[in-house]
């Protein structure tokens, strides 16, 4: 399934391996480069006692050498992928004057050792040793997997000091978090470009969209609701990695760190992640070591992504900004739920800054921070793709930009009567609606199978949940477009007498609800925006709680309605195990808040 690979399908290696021999004439042919496949002996683990073999391809521009050193780019694959997935990056950026090292991450694509989910003690240390190789250190690179034939010491990369190469990183998903892991352990890294990746993996795999530990964070005090289908996808890809590495799949658990598979089983059974699992996942997440990320960071996240939604990049952006780390953020059209970029955004198999908005931003970023071209602008602080803007060619016209994030102003809608949303200070009419959460955390609808949407497409309309398991409120038909950029927020107080008695037992006794914001067309059909919903494990039903819905960039067109839905179950998440009656009354303090920008 290759669930977490970066972007659209990428081409295989574009050139056969060649001997690393610099051409005599510096920059004689800007399109010429060589590709050499190497093996790297690295030691990893908390005590650096585990030896692993990493396989990588070194792309060297024509003319690079001791007298014409060039900056370097390090890149690795998404989950389930290999070094070959970055062949387009290797080709394009070597032609721009960078030495590029693309490698298969630990446990994938011919590289040995277990998959540790980008743990800095493993993946971070491995990447750090590759930086040492780029800096000219010997005893790391070999021509064979047995590490018997040393490769020539590299002398093509520009140095900032002894054993300190000028180097940046790029990669998506698993290859995005890997960059944070390296930056955590190695201050020599000069800049990073993480794409479609996580802030807190415990949120990614078991989100609770309320009870955050801090404003703007995604980490929560109480555990959330396990993503069933995405978690299953991890296991499948882990087994595929075993097979591709020509080793017998480690059944019943594929080639993961030992704690991973028991955690998946426990989570699928109970519906939530236990404290030990959350600790492991956060250890492998930038949220836990953010203070160590000091290098300029270009965050790129997908609007169409139910695995690592926009809230994760926003949390990382806010934290980096608050501590003074140079950071910018792009919200692109595509992500794990739709792997095909819009026209003129980026082509991972053939990146072209002249015709692709994102590629141009990345190219300018590296020119500024790696080549030292201070006159090259890195672009706006925040940019986001608008799918309602028509254009041809380069996607730049579809991107709006801002000097900071968040943007816009809040538009507040209040729950009124038995199913209406009203704006402003309009008094809310009395009314109440009720639902029952299903037993055993079963789904209430078969729509929107999140982990498969990139392959089968997201259903265009929500057919509706089972009767009695969902309630909703609609706005009047809009007289003008409403453009939303950011995270909708929902503040509710619910009535749940059964949960009030059981919630003292902890997560197993708390009620789980699914909060959704949908677009209702003039024909009455509702569309869940990019398939995004917000599971919440309500910490205390006796008190109001606020839900931070996954961020969207969406135009509610004139004539459409805005809908707020609260459901008791989802096919994508494991709900609470007990059937629980829930009532929600209308009122002035029961609100949906949308971050809006002027229509453009």
Ordered mean pLDDT values, 10 residues apiece, the chain (600 residues): 37 28 36 93 97 98 96 96 96 97 96 95 98 98 98 97 97 97 98 98 96 96 90 61 51 74 84 94 98 98 97 98 98 94 95 97 98 97 98 98 96 96 85 91 68 54 71 97 98 96 93 96 94 95 97 98 95 88 95 95
Helix (H) or strand (E) holding 363: helix 357-369
Output the pTM of the full model: 0.92
Structure-block tokens of residue 120? 């800095």
Question: Cβ contacts of residue 523 below 8 Å, gap of 6+?
Answer: none
pLDDT for the residue 10: 29
Predicted local confidence at residue 26, as pLDDT: 33
At what angle are helices 260-270 and 275-283 packed, to 10 degrees? 130
CA distance 401 to 449: 32
pLDDT for 249 equals: 47
pLDDT for the residue numbered 253: 67
Burial label for 589, CB within 10 Å (0-12, 13-18, 19+), is exposed
- pLDDT score, position 252: 59
Please, what sign has the CA dihedral across residues 343, 347, 353, 354? negative
Cα 75 to its chain centre, rounded Å, is 16
**174-185 vs 125-134: helix axis angle to the nearest 10?**
70
Rounded CA separation 127/40 (Å): 10
Own/partner contacts of 88-91, CB < 8 Å, gap of 24 or more, are 88/10, 88/11, 88/14, 88/347, 88/348, 88/349, 88/350, 88/351, 89/170, 89/348, 89/351, 90/14, 90/35, 90/57, 90/59, 91/14, 91/15, 91/33, 91/59, 91/350
Residue 272 CA to residue 300 CA, distance in Å, equals: 29
User: CA 373, CA 71: separation in Å to the nearest integer?
Assistant: 12
Give residue 466's pLDDT: 77
Cis peptide preceding 406, ω within 30 of 0: yes
Q: What is the predicted pLDDT for the residue at 575?
A: 87
User: What is the Cα 133 distance to its own chain's centre?
Assistant: 29
Element (H, E) at 194: strand 191-195
Cα angle 174, 15, 335 (rounded to 5 degrees) comes to 25
Q: What is the pLDDT of residue 233?
A: 66
Backbone angles phi, psi at 317, to 5 degrees: -55, -50
Token code pair at residue 103: 């490698």
Distance of CA 463 to the CA centre of its chain: 28
Helix runs in 370-496, H state only? 453-456
Beta carbons of 399 and 383 less than 8 angstroms apart: yes
97's CB contacts (< 8 A; 6+ apart) are: 27, 61, 70, 71, 371
CB proximity list for 24: less than 8 A, separation 6 or greater: none
- Pairing relation of β-strands 297-302 and 327-332? parallel
């Amino acid at each position: 399934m290759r669930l977490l690979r970066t972007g659209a399908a990428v081409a295989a290696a574009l050139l056969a391996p060649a001997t690393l021999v610099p051409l005599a004439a510096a920059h004689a042919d800007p399109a010429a480069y060589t590709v050499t496949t190497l093996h790297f002996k690295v030691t990893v683990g908390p005590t650096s006692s585990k030896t692993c073999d990493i396989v990588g391809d070194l792309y060297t521009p024509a003319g690079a050498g001791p007298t014409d050193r060039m900056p370097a780019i390090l890149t690795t694959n998404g989950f389930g992928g290999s070094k070959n997935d970055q062949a387009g990056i290797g080709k394009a950026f070597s032609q721009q004057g960078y030495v590029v090292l693309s490698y298969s991450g630990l446990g994938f694509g011919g590289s040995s050792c277990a998959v540790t989910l980008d743990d800095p003690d493993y993946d971070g240390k491995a990447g750090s040793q590759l930086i040492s190789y780029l800096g000219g250190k010997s005893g790391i690179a070999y021509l064979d997997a047995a590490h018997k034939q040393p490769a020539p010491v590299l002398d093509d990369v520009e140095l900032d000091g002894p054993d300190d190469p000028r180097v940046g990183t790029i990669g998506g998903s698993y290859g995005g978090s890997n960059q944070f892991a390296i930056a955590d352990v190695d201050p020599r890294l000069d800049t990073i470009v993480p794409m479609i990746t996580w802030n807190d993996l415990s949120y990614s795999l078991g989100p609770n969209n309320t009870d955050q530990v801090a404003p703007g964070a995604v980490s929560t005090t109480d555990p959330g609701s396990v993503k069933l289908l995405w978690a299953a996808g991890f296991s499948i890809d882990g087994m595929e990695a075993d097979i591709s590495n020509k080793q017998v799949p480690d059944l019943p658990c594929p080639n993961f760190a030992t704690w991973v598979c028991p955690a998946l089983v426990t989570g699928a059974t109970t519906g939530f992640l236990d404290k030990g699992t959350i600790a492991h996942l956060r250890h492998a997440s930038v949220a836990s070591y953010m203070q160590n990320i000091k290098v300029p960071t270009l965050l790129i996240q997908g609007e169409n992504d139910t695995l690592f939604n926009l809230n994760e990049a926003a949390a990382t952006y806010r934290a980096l900004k608050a501590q003074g780390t140079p950071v910018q953020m792009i919200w692109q059209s595509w992500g794990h739920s739709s792997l095909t970029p819009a026209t003129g955004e980026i082509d991972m198999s053939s990146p072209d800054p002249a015709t692709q908005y994102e590629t141009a931003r990345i190219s300018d970023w590296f020119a500024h921070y790696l080549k030292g071209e201070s006159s090259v602008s890195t672009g706006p602080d925040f940019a986001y793709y608008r799918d309602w803007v028509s254009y041809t060619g380069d996607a730049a016209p579809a991107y709006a930009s801002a000097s900071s994030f968040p943007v816009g102003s809040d538009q507040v809608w209040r729950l009124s009567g038995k199913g209406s949303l009203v704006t402003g200070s309009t008094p809310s009419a009395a009314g109440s609606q009720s639902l029952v959460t299903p037993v055993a955390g079963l789904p209430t609808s078969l729509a929107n199978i999140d982990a498969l949407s990139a392959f089968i497409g997201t259903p265009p309309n929500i057919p509706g949940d089972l009767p009695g398991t969902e309630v909703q409120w609609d706005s009047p038909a809009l007289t003008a477009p409403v453009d939303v950029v950011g995270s909708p927020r929902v503040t509710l107080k619910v009535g749940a007498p059964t949960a009030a008695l059981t919630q003292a037992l902890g997560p197993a006794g708390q009620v789980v609800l699914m909060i959704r914001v949908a677009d209702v067309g003039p024909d009455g059909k509702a569309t869940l925006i990019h398939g995004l919903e917000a599971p919440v494990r309500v910490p205390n039903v006796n008190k109001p709680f606020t839900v931070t819905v996954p961020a969207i960039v969406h135009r509610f067109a004139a004539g459409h309605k805005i809908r707020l839905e609260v459901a008791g179950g989802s096919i994508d998440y494991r709900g609470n195990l007990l059937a629980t009656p829930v009532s929600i009354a209308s009122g002035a303090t029961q609100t949906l808040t949308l971050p809006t920008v002027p229509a453009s």
